[in-house]
Amino acid sequence: MLPLLGAALSGLLAFLAGIFEDSESNAGSASNPNSQVQLAPQIGHRHRYFNKAISGEPPANALWVTTAATVAVLLSVRLEAMGTLYSVILSSVIGALVSALLLGLYGILAHISRIASMRTFRQPLYWDAIFSALPLGISFGFLTAFSLTLLSFTAGMMLNNPFSVPLIALLLGITIGSIGSATGDIHYGAERLYQHYMFGSGIPIAKQGDIDIKGEYGYRNSVDTPYFTLRFGAMVTAFAFGLLIFLDSLSRVFDFAGVWTSVIVELGIILIIFIVTVRLEKYTRDKYGPFMR
Amino acid sequence: MEPVTAFFAIILGGVLVGICVHFIPASATGAMSAATGIATGPSMLSAGAGMAGLLSASYSIDSGLSVVLASGATASALMVALTILSGNIANAFGTGVPPASGQTASGQSITGKSTKDAISGWDQKPYISPGTDGHGMPVQTNFSGLIGAFIGGTGGALVLFAVYTLLVPILRQDAAFTISGFIAGGVFLINCVLPAYTLVGKTEGMFDQKIRKTPKTLVSCFIVSSVIAMIIYIAAVVIQ
Amino acid sequence: MSTDMKKEFTSQELYFIALVPGIIAILMVKFYHPVTPIAVILIWPAFLSGANAVRSVARYGLGTGTASIGYWGTAVGATIAFISQFINPAYNFVSPYFEILSALIVGAVTGICAQRIIKMKIPVMIRDSAILASSTAIIAMFLLGMLTEYSASVTTVDAYITYPLIYIATTLAILHPFNGSMGAGENQRRTLRLSAVEASMTTALFGLIALLFSEALFFTGISVIIVSAAGFVIFVKRWFSAVKEDTYEFAWTGYPPAEH
């Protein structure tokens, strides 16, 4: 019973973490689409985006999550008298707060420094572009760190992973960062930043940097971005990461072939996913047809 | 596993990690649906897949080498398979483009002048948005990505198991688990950046012309892994 | 750290001012732990040296992100620092020289591979790869020493749970100054000043970790946080004065010019 419960809980936490992670990166224009925001002033689009660019998503998320998890582990030892569950949850909140503070500091430093490097292209530094988007990014970062810290504790305590909790957090942080930048970013980079281009086409390399700087009303700032990407991009990220953690945990619940059970189950799942991906490709090819001008 | 075998296992693991990066399709401009491959840098994506593999391999570390290797490989492949599926969903419904290989469409892939997908046989050329280098992950890159993830996950798990066998005699068991996990992660991160130098930030996997440059990566990773393995071996075995 | 000179520092100069104080700082925490707050100041140049190495390598367009070169360098330095933690205590005298030299060798070997086998044609590849890896080894050895050397007998949790944080926090502090300042107007002065800000942020974080890590490190943790906070205030002021010179225009709010 406990492994199944652990698998379900970790799946849920991973799903939530996926949503928050993608929203956090989009609220700060982090990761790959950042190059577009960076290019925009060079072709004459002075923008009001929050250009956070702390680093690629994997190391950045790994830092938030590992900070939260390390502080949480050290604190939970101190708070042991409160009982395991309470001490874990309370110390995870405090750990996530520390990492949110760190995220805020790195975010401010990164934005100001990047805009300062845009002097040649006459890009002004708008203070409200930072300070309206920053709390949103910090809160999403807090939620990411919190859910992943709880997920690391779940893996370490309920699923009996032999690694220590901060190491699990580091591995999970790098994994969620690479999934987030590989899936959710497409919705931000190819659709949200280029909404004035027609739907149904990749962004030609010659057009890169020609981003949409007008919003639903007025000029667009980064607060508007998660509002858009939460509906699809964040969900796709959550789908990938949540399913990865859930299926990986679930494959260890069964036992029909001894130690090889999880490997056999995962191979079956990979085959199914491969078939689904091929069918999806066939569907899009039939449905959309060849490219038409 | 004997200490000397473990020494060679660390080198082999490092080389496998290096090779895996060549097989996993990745390109940063994929995030703008402007290039074929998973929408992030090759080394970043391989690192993510490798870490997922290490996490999964750690569960079965007491069940013997073959199970550890298989768990690492399948978990990495599961991560890449899910990322490819989700990336294609994001391309199909977020951007509205079908997956298509840019290099195959321009007749420059390793299969020759054919513009058809090497596995499914579907023509790639008409589906490319003009001005882009393809988008999404068509069947051939998907297949190649899975192979790459299997190789990389095996390499990561091999390093994990080898370092673990070196550390178990000299440390407490829980410390040995975590430290070997960390060192395996470190060896993975060191080796997955070298191929990125060869790939210059973009690859379509094993049907890309850049696969021909794999020997360069192989030699580089072999040299670097040997030095690292020697340092681990000196610290864990020689001066004990 | 007089970073306001007009001419650029070379990597070797920065590495030299990182290496000597870095080794002194490591030996200080190793043999006389109460001076840790002073040693923290001596370790900051190592962050500058690492950030400068990332800058000089990444400026050439590596074909991989700045983030990748940052985590590669720290992976070399930190992994070797952690490997050294399980060598027999009887050989303790080889530390930290063994780690710093090993990191230098691995970095140089990687640089040679990139230069000779992959043929990258980046003139500074070998030198700066070695400096990058070695600087991160200095930082990792210092942070490890700060947390473990003194408290080993009185701690309630094991030191190895902090390894991941040491690794990833160093990574970000090394790669972020260049990555965060990237753009046409990037210059070494501002990048290094940003690096100093982030170095003090990172040591403050480890002050907090030390505080929580062991009862015996309570005062060490508090004093490290205070020293780092003081450094943070000073460095932020210096960095912001550079930003004021470099930025085109400050505005509280407004519309981008010429497009409405």
Report pLDDT for C218: 87
Q: Above 70 in pLDDT, residue C157? A: no
Domain boundaries, chain A: 2-254, 258-293
Selecting from A183, A202, A288 the residue whose C-beta is nearest the C-beta of B132 gives: A202
Least confident of B122-131, B204-213, B230-239, C155-164: C155-164
CA-to-CA dists, residue B187 to A161, B48, B217, C72, C164, angstroms = 21, 14, 15, 9, 14
Chain B nearest-CA distance from A130, in A, is 24
Cα–Cα nearest to B36, from B94, B111, B120, B117: B117
Pair A131, B12: CB distance under 8 Å:
no
Q: Residue B215 burial by CB count (10 A; 0-12/13-18/19+): exposed, middle or buried?
A: exposed
The mean pLDDT of A185-205, rounded to a whole number, is: 88
Q: Quick one: chain B helix, strand, coil %, rounded to 5?
A: 70, 5, 25
> Which 3 state secondary structure label does DSSP give B98?
coil
Report pLDDT for C83: 85
Nearest C-alpha in B relative to C109: B224
User: Across chain B, where does the E strand assignment appear?
Assistant: 26-27, 100-101, 134-135, 202-203
Say whether A288 and B96 touch across the interface (CB within 8 A).
yes
pLDDT-derived band at C64 (thresholds 50, 70, 90) equals low
Selecting from B33, B38, B143 the residue whose C-beta is nearest the C-beta of A202 gives: B33
pLDDT-derived band at C67 (thresholds 50, 70, 90) equals confident
Mean pLDDT, chain A, whole residue set: 90
Report pLDDT for A1: 61
> Which 3 state secondary structure label does DSSP give B101?
strand
Selecting from C213, C247, C252 the residue whose C-beta is nearest the C-beta of A115 gives: C247
Report pLDDT for C101: 92
Q: Tens of pLDDT along B34-88?
A: 889 898 888 889 999 999 999 999 998 888 899 999 999 999 999 999 999 999 9
Report pLDDT for C151: 52
Task: Identify which has the larger pLDDT, C69 or C169.
Answer: C169
CA triplet C32, C33, C35: central angle to 5 degrees? Answer: 85
Nearest C-alpha in B relative to A190: B32
Report pLDDT for A255: 82
Least confident of B66-75, C222-231, C243-252: C243-252
Say whether C164 and B182 touch across the interface (CB within 8 A).
yes
pLDDT-derived band at C63 (thresholds 50, 70, 90) equals low
Task: Identify which has the larger pLDDT, C174 or C91.
Answer: C174
Chain B positions in Cβ-Cβ contact with residue A260 (cut-off 8 Å): 67, 70
Chain A positions in Cβ-Cβ contact with residue B82 (cut-off 8 Å): 179, 240, 243-244, 273
Q: Tens of pLDDT along C101-137?
A: 999 999 999 999 888 888 877 888 899 999 999 999 9
Task: Say what the ipTM of the complex is.
Answer: 0.94
Report pLDDT for C257: 66
Chain A positions in Cβ-Cβ contact with residue B47 (cut-off 8 Å): 58, 174, 178
Task: Identify which has the larger pLDDT, C227 or B108.
Answer: C227
Say whether B87 and A182 touch across the interface (CB within 8 A).
yes
Cα–Cα nearest to B24, from B47, B54, B51, B58: B47
Nearest C-alpha in C relative to B43: C68
The amino acid occupying position B68 is V
Least confident of A20-29, B221-230, C47-56, C209-218: C209-218
Report pLDDT for C140: 92
Selecting from C68, C161, C254 the residue whose C-beta is nearest the C-beta of A164 gives: C161
Say whether A190 and B54 touch across the interface (CB within 8 A).
no
Q: Above 50 in pLDDT, residue C260? A: no
Mean pLDDT, chain B, whole residue set: 90
Cα–Cα nearest to B163, from B186, B191, B192: B186
Pair A37, A189: CB distance under 8 Å:
no
Q: Above 80 in pLDDT, residue C12? A: yes
Q: Above 80 in pLDDT, residue B11? A: yes
Mean pLDDT, chain C, whole residue set: 86
Q: Domain count of chain B?
A: 1
Report pLDDT for C153: 47
Domain range for B89: 3-238
Report pLDDT for A289: 87
pLDDT-derived band at C152 (thresholds 50, 70, 90) equals low
- Residue C249 CA, chain-centre distance (Å), reads 31
Chain A positions in Cβ-Cβ contact with residue B84 (cut-off 8 Å): 277
